[in-house]
Amino acid sequence: MRHHATHFGIDLALALAGGIAMRHAFGLDPVWWLAWLAPAPVLVAALRSGPWRAFLLTLLAGLVASSASFHYFTLAMPLPVAVLVTVLLALTWALVVGLARRVLLRVASPWAVLAYPLLWCAVDTLMAHLHPDGNWSSLAYSQAQFLPAVQVLALAGTAGLVFVLSLLPATIALAVQRGWQAARTPLLLALVLTVATFAYGFARIPSTAPPQGDLVGLAVIDDYLGPRVPPSLGQQVWTQYEAHVAALAGQGARIVVLPEKIDTLTPAAAQALQARLAALAARHGVWLAAGIGVDDDGSKRNLAWLMTPDGHLDANYQKHHIAPPEREFLPGAEYAVRVAASARYGLAICKDLHFAAMGRAYGTRQVQALLVPAWDFDEDGLYAARLSALRGVESGFAMVRAARQGLLTVTDPYGRIVAETPSAGLPGTTLLARVPAQHVATLYARTGDLFGWLCTAAAALLLVLAFGPRGARAVPREAAATVA
């Protein structure tokens, strides 16, 4: 009895330690190096336990980890939905670890350790293509601030990084369960792949400073405008934006980017504002990108306008991917690519950049930089800015992102921060920087999620072997009751 209690106590401690480590490794402000080790204690606890105990221990660890984002979820969705999302993220951990455990205990080959990274790659790929919010919680984004690791995105997308990131903790768990000698070859492979990933990243990032391109200005005022906001505040905000555009143009900016959905207007009011912004662009001779919402009797659209220096509307881009608080808005389907100033620019809005397919679409259109009006939630400002920059790493372009309640950021095609500053309420914040507009060809832009789909197929094959009647057991027959 005492032995069982001690055994359970150790497993519980492992699950809690792993959950706490995962909370810090995969939250909104992730500790990148911890992500390479954090899941290992949870995997060890699962392999030491029967199926139901393993499920509950992993679920507990997953809840500890996913609860790090719970407050953020409450900002973006109703409380019951926030609770549901938190639980679903924890269940995803329980599912992946549970299935990987089954493979490791049923398939005798040490290469069964590949089940864990392959299953995470499958989840990552399926979420990216099937979920309305994409793979926002991808394990790959834990590395967003460690640029040598994220360069692998240019080869295989987020699935490539998820695979390498997940292989090391899986091999550590295998070594604990079967012995270091039995896990020697997979562990060596994991270490070689990890070192190779870092080496490739360091070699890919240029040793020179980003190239000097067009001078761009970003201007952001956090204050919310809408139907219930006093007209005097709206006038104050727009007057201040006009002053910011004038000041940035006076400092040499050729392009100015304003944030997402500064106001939501009727079609008539939007038409008047469009004329006002067109005149502003012409008065100062700049390309002007601004985010506006239009409510046409309940038919809502989230738009990014691009005005030319001679005062014409050159692009009327409609946001493709709708965030949870704005599901009533209609999604767009068209892309906007324009030669502005001296480079080839594309338009996107905030959540659009949560989807690698959006970045790839612009990469295949040879875009050199994206202009991105955005609106964050304060708490996720850093995470959203870094996540968006990874689209440029994957598909080879720079990014100019102006976010309310977030960061004003300019990045190069390798994810390097050229300039950055936090947004603020009235009178707002501005940023002036040279955008390193250049197109960098990447393998991912050509092949897309091919690696992810191959991993999905391989994961399915391993599950067939693990659940099939001929699965070769990796544990003694007397312990088989813990496997089923």
pLDDT tops 50 at residue 477:
no
The answer to whether the CB of 406 falls within 8 A of the CB of 28 is no
The CATH class for the domain spanning 215-437 reads alpha beta
Write phi, then psi, for 130 (nearest 5 degrees). -115, -25
Closest Cα partner for 326 from 403, 388, 257, 264? 264
**Confidence at residue 228, expressed as pLDDT on a 0 to 100 scale:** 81
pLDDT tops 70 at residue 454:
yes
**Confidence at residue 210, expressed as pLDDT on a 0 to 100 scale:** 86
Encode pLDDT of 299-323 as tens digits: 999 999 999 999 999 999 999 999 8
Greater confidence (210 vs 102) lies with 102
What's the CA gap between 86 and 234, in Å, rounded? Answer: 37
pLDDT tops 60 at residue 180:
yes
Encode pLDDT of 208-246 as tens digits: 888 889 999 999 999 988 778 888 898 999 999 999 999
* C-alpha dihedral sign at 126, 128, 133, 135: positive
**Confidence at residue 482, expressed as pLDDT on a 0 to 100 scale:** 46
* Kind and range of the H or E run holding 317: strand 313-318
Per-residue pLDDT, averaged over 191-216, amounts to 95
pLDDT tops 80 at residue 181:
yes
**Confidence at residue 216, expressed as pLDDT on a 0 to 100 scale:** 99
Percent of the chain with pLDDT over 90: 84
pTM, two decimal places: 0.93
What's the CA gap between 386 and 439, in Å, rounded? Answer: 19
pLDDT band at 107, cuts 50/70/90?
confident
Percent of the chain with pLDDT over 70: 96
Q: 3-class DSSP state for residue 436?
A: coil
pLDDT tops 60 at residue 483:
no
* DSSP secondary structure letters along 49-94: S-HHHHHHHHHHHHHHHHGGGHHHHHHHS-HHHHHHHHHHHHHHHH
pLDDT band at 4, cuts 50/70/90?
low
Encode pLDDT of 42-83 as tens digits: 999 999 999 999 999 999 999 999 999 999 999 988 999 999
**Confidence at residue 325, expressed as pLDDT on a 0 to 100 scale:** 79
Greater confidence (328 vs 444) lies with 444
**Confidence at residue 473, expressed as pLDDT on a 0 to 100 scale:** 53
- Spatial CB neighbours of 464, under 8 Å, sequence gap ≥ 6: none
pLDDT tops 60 at residue 484:
no
Per-residue pLDDT, averaged over 460-478, amounts to 69
What's the CA gap between 120 and 93, in Å, rounded? Answer: 9
- Alpha-carbon distance values, 1 to 5, 103, 161, 404 (Å): 6, 29, 44, 58
Closest Cα partner for 96 from 151, 155, 169? 169
Greater confidence (178 vs 451) lies with 451
pLDDT tops 90 at residue 183:
no
What's the CA gap between 249 and 52, in Å, rounded? Answer: 64
Per-residue pLDDT, averaged over 135-159, amounts to 97
The answer to whether the CB of 26 falls within 8 A of the CB of 69 is no
Which two tokens mark 1? 């009895």
pLDDT band at 2, cuts 50/70/90?
low
Token look-up 């046409």 returns: 296
Q: What is the mean pLDDT of the chain?
A: 93
Q: 3-class DSSP state for residue 421?
A: strand
pLDDT band at 470, cuts 50/70/90?
low
pLDDT tops 60 at residue 471:
no
Which two tokens mark 484? 């089923």
Domain assignments of the chain as residue spans, ordered by start: 2-206+447-482, 215-437
Lowest mean pLDDT among 171-185, 333-347, 405-419, 466-480: 466-480
pLDDT tops 70 at residue 476:
no
**Confidence at residue 3, expressed as pLDDT on a 0 to 100 scale:** 61
pLDDT tops 60 at residue 263:
yes
DSSP assigned state of 151: T
